[in-house]
Amino acid sequence: MKKDWLRHFDFIMVDLFAIEISLLLTFSAFRLFSWRMAAGADRLCLFIPFLHLSACLILDAYDGVLQRGYLKEFTALLRLEFWVFFLQIFFFYFLKLFLEIPRRLLIAYFTFCIPLSYVFRFFYKFFLSRFYRSVKHARQIVVATIKQEAETMVQTITESSIRNYQFFGLAVLDESMIGEMIGNVTVSADRKTLKDYIRQHIVDEVFLSIPGRQEETLAVAAELLEMGINVHISVEDAYQSLPNRRISDVFGYRVLTATISPISFRQAIVKRMMDIAGGLVGCTLTVFLMIVIGPLIFLCSPGPVFFRQTRVGKHGRTFHLYKFRSMYMDAEERKKELMEQNKIPGGLMFKLDNDPRVIKGIGSFIRKTSLDEFPQFFNVLKGDMSLVGTRPPTIDEYERYSPHHKRRLSIKPGITGLWQVSGRSSITDFEEVIRLDTQYIENWSLEQDIKLILKTAVRMFDHFGAS
């Protein structure tokens, strides 16, 4: 389980920013009043942050930082700064590391640092509260439990101000109580309707608590994992059959979390950084391509150069996907007429040889060379997509999904993916697509992403050379 001081890395950065501003103001005040400032005092800009991090580690200073009110936050901050002051006295005057540091400098520093840190923390909390109000950024969580536990859990969860969770729904598994109120929460589902409820709504995670019923817990967890939903189990028995297990805290409860994806928090950050870097390069190339491709598209088929379509992303979130328009303006209307010729049964994807909706010449060229996909780099920068992931379905395709199909949406969709570069992008069996997407998710690694990006580039240049 991650330590709170590391899990709340963002609050650490806020405090370090307040420290550096406080030191800057302290040095400015000394210069303004012509007070004596010791030689080498600028080294405090590195040394005091080091002492601050040491005190945070000793005190576990960020434990419960998101739940603290004004008074508790001020008390916690005073406690932390007392320890920092104690460490400064120890190093400066007992170990004599900084012999010439005047005491008034330390007093001036704390005079600035305590109020600044306090204000900066609450401004940041205010930002987080606004940021995570959006379903795009907050993780939507459903609580599934038994009647006996439900009231206590509802009270605990609704009183907790968790940063990145929204309490989305309550399912009572041992009785049919749909529509009834428990505390101030309406019961949304029971054991029979839980999967349908999750399939029809944006749900990222399920908090599962069925005390004393290990077999039932495993059965429900397995069903949810099949849908690609992260599962938090509120007991710590040895659920060895669940993949990628870790102990964590949710709403103040200690839970065993299982997910089909092995990606860690650190790896997710690196993946996002890679997406941003690749997105910036891709967007720059898109602008240059638009100068050449845009007029050709308009000449062959008057209308917008870009095509925008609503797609379904991670755990059912919708977003607008951008492409260079490669089809005539009436393509969406004509799709209904062509559904009978769809090569993939059930309408779970749409694939058609010699699609008559494609603009002759330029449309065929940019589709064959994948140049029509370049505007999706803007989706990557926005955070709706990743460079590598799974293909985002249209809304009508998503509505036909069976529960196990939803597992392919447990990660962000990507511009490219495993099945696109595996030589099987022309497959007509949607279950094979699911198998390849699941293989990518369950065996994810940064090395694999890099390989898929390189393979995509090679295939694109091969198609370009053959055109």
CB 201 within 8 A of CB 168: yes
CB atoms within 10 A of CB 154: 20
- Relative orientation angle of helices 9-32 and 44-59, to the nearest 10 degrees: 140
Report field, pTM of the whole predicted structure over 0.85: no
Helices of type H across 324-429: 331-338, 362-368, 376-382, 395-398, 418-421
Q: Which pLDDT score, from 0 to 100, does residue 285 have?
A: 94
Tokens of 125: 């909390």
DSSP single-letter state for residue 230: E
- Smallest CA-to-CA distance from 85 within 58, 109, 101, 65 is with 109
12 dihedral zone (left: phi>0; alpha: psi -120 to 50; beta) = alpha
Residue type for position 23: L
Token digits for 317?
């979130």
**pLDDT under 70: residue ranges of the chain:** 1-7, 37-40, 97-100, 135, 159-164, 235-240, 347, 423-426, 463-467
Q: Does 3.40.50.720 match the CATH number of domain 139-258?
A: yes
Instruction: Specify whether the backbone of 423 is left (phi greater than 0), alpha (psi in -120 to 50) or beta.
Output: left
C-alpha 233/C-alpha 206 separation (Å) is 9
> What is the 8-class DSSP label of residue 68?
-
Q: Which two tokens stand for residue 252?
A: 């103040």
Q: What one-character DSSP code corresponds to residue 51?
A: H
The strand pair at 181-182 and 185-189 is best described as antiparallel
**Which phi-psi region, left, alpha or beta, contains residue 414 (left: φ > 0; alpha: ψ -120 to 50)?**
beta
For residues 239 and 219, give the distance between their C-alpha atoms in angstroms, rounded to a whole number: 11
**pLDDT value, residue 7:** 66
pLDDT digits (tens, 9 = 90+) for 34-68: 777 666 677 788 888 988 888 887 777 887 787 78
Nearest to 180 by CA among 159, 151, 157, 208: 151
Residue 354: per-residue pLDDT: 77
Say if CB 129 and CB 162 are below 8 A apart: no
Output DSSP code: residue 95. S
DSSP state of 354: T
Alpha carbon distance 311, 297 (integer Å): 23
Bridge partners (DSSP) of residue 166 are: 140
Please say whether the beta carbons of 449 and 421 come within 8 A.
no
pLDDT of residue 288: 94
Partners of 413 in the β-ladder: 390
Q: What are the residue boundaries of the structural domains of the chain, listed by start?
A: 4-131, 139-258, 265-466
Contact 230, 259 (CB under 8 A): yes
Containing H/E element for 171? strand 165-172
Identify the H or E element spanning 324.
strand 318-324
Lookup: tokens for 135: 């379903």
